[in-house]
């Protein structure tokens, strides 16, 4: 079975900027009419994805204040400190509409999760681990956030694989495509023909494989095989400018700031992987002295930090693994997960925007709408970055 995990805040922000014409001062979301358009846009695009993927269960992860903002970063002002919200947008109205949208999704039988001090990324990681490791089912994460790619992985139970993949339906740029990020094992699985039992064709048909193929063969979708954990390790060393996370080490050279770059990272990993085995982020803490020596050799100086503290800081800032989350967040999740999984499942095969918003002013007061899909609109404004 396929479970669909929506990164709600990522979807909402992209919808918001598309319907406001990207940067247009005419949309402030002060008026109820503009909020109504945002609600219909989110419902329209989410319904389209649900029909395309045909999931057995649907989850929404919603942001709260991030625990990572309490992590001290001596090189800058802190985690995501560089992000500034548009002053012309009424964010209170936008966030209130998201809360209302979540309640509507709950009323339609979907699972919604918001935890104190946890980002949507954390919640998606928690649900992915739960579903793939304990439920032994597939997960598709819907998000345009590239950080999500580190969650791509494969789990085997009784020799049967379950996959976490990431689907980015946002096309940005001319001749661009939607992306389905998958593990190497998925690539083998999807391209392997199943043995056919002509006496029992129903037993032969792999429904999940058929549903995945529908996504892959849909308009402008490209499947990309990646190594999820390697993406996380690279961020540990090179940082993440989007989240204001510095590289593991920066220094001055000829009065200019220099950092661990991708090329330097490759050399460090090569030194650490001399035995031919791959390195995990858990391994880094166990071989911290070797990591320090490798960095020192590559940059030709000895960094003036405690390598254990620096590694742990970087891991907490960039790695989406529950073992590095605060205990109170994991405990919150463990308290609510079983109850949420008991919710009855619903057939979403014919879902549409009006179905999701049935009985609300968002459809009862609108006779027709020609709002274009967010996915086509993003392609239309391809020359602009969204954030």
The CA distance from 362 to 33, in Å, is 9
The reported pLDDT for the residue numbered 195 is 63
Give Cα 241 to chain centroid, integer Å.
Answer: 17
**For residue 372, which of 34, 45, 9 has the smallest C-alpha distance?**
45
- Distance (Å, whole) CA 326 – CA 333: 11
- The most distant pair of C-alpha atoms in the chain lies apart, rounded to whole Å, by 75
pLDDT at position 255: 75
pLDDT at 204 (0 to 100): 46
- How many C-beta atoms lie closer than 10 Å to residue 297's C-beta? 13
- Spatial distance between the Cα atoms of 88 and 74, rounded to a whole number of angstroms: 32
Distance CA 20, CA 18 (A): 5
Instruction: Say how many C-beta atoms besides its own lie within 10 A of residue 251's C-beta.
Output: 14
pLDDT of residue 275: 59
Distance CA 118, CA 175 (A): 36
| Contact status, residue 5 vs residue 61, Cβ threshold 8 Å | yes
CA angle 116, 121, 127 (to 5 degrees): 85
- Provide the pLDDT for residue 266: 94
Looking at residue 300, what DSSP letter applies? Answer: T
At residue 142, the 3 state secondary structure works out as strand
Tell me how far apart the alpha carbons of residues 272 and 343 are, in angstroms, rounded to a whole number: 47
The pLDDT score that the predictor gives to residue 129 is: 97
3 state SS of 3: strand
Q: Which of 187, 191, 195, 121 is nearest to 154 (CA)?
A: 187
Global confidence as pTM = 0.89
Beta strand pairing call for 111-113 and 138-142: unpaired
Interatomic CA distance for residues 31 and 203, integer angstroms:
54
CA distance 107 to 109: 5
Mean pLDDT, contiguous 10-residue spans, the chain (387 residues): 94 83 71 90 91 91 95 94 85 92 92 96 98 96 94 95 94 78 96 65 68 85 94 96 94 83 94 78 93 94 95 97 97 95 82 89 62 50 41
Cα–Cα distance measured from residue 264 to residue 275, given in angstroms and rounded to the nearest whole number: 19
What's the gap between Cα 180 and its chain centre? 12
Report the distance separating Cα 34 and Cα 145, nearest Å: 25
- The pLDDT, as a whole number, for residue 201 is 46
pLDDT of residue 174: 66
C-beta neighbour count of 133 within 10 angstroms: 11
What DSSP string runs through 311-345?
Answer: HHHHHHHH---GGGS-HHHHHHHHHHHHHHHTSPP
Q: What is the predicted pLDDT for the residue at 14? A: 85
């Amino acid at each position: 079975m396929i479970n669909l995990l929506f990164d709600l805040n990522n979807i909402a922000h992209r919808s918001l900027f598309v319907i406001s014409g990207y940067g247009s001062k005419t949309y402030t979301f002060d008026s109820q009419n503009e909020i109504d358009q945002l609600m219909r846009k989110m419902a329209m695009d989410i319904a389209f994805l649900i029909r395309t993927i045909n999931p057995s269960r649907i989850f929404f992860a919603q942001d709260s204040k991030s625990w990572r903002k309490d992590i001290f970063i001596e090189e800058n002002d802190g985690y995501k400190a560089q992000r500034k919200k548009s002053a012309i947008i009424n964010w209170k109205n936008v966030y209130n509409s998201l809360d209302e949208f979540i309640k509507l999704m709950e009323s339609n039988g979907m699972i919604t999760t918001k935890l104190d001090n946890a980002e949507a990324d954390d919640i998606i990681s928690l649900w992915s681990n739960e579903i793939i490791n304990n439920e032994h089912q597939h997960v598709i994460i819907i998000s345009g956030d590239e950080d999500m790619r580190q969650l791509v992985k494969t789990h085997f139970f009784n020799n049967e694989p379950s996959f976490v993949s990431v689907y980015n339906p946002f096309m940005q740029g001319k001749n661009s495509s939607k992306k389905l990020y998958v593990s190497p094992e998925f690539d083998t699985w999807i391209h392997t023909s199943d043995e056919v039992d002509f006496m029992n064709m129903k037993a032969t048909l792999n429904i999940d494989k058929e549903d995945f193929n529908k996504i892959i063969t849909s308009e402008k979708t490209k499947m990309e095989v990646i190594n999820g954990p390697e993406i996380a390790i690279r961020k540990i060393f090179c940082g993440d400018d989007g989240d204001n996370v510095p590289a593991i080490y920066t220094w001055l050279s000829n009065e200019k700031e220099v950092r661990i770059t991708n090329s330097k990272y490759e050399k460090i990993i090569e030194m650490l992987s001399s035995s031919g085995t791959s390195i995990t982020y858990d391994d880094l803490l166990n071989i911290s002295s070797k990591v320090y020596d490798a960095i020192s050799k590559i940059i030709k100086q000895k960094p003036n930090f405690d390598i254990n503290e620096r590694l742990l800081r970087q891991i907490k800032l960039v790695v989406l693994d529950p073992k590095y989350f605060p205990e109170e967040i994991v405990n919150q999740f463990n308290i609510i997960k079983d109850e949420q999984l008991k919710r009855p499942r619903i057939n979403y095969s014919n879902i549409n925007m009006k179905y999701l918003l049935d009985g609300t002013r968002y459809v009862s007061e609108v006779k027709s709408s020609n709002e274009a899909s967010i996915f086509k609109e993003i392609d239309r404004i391809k020359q602009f970055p969204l954030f």
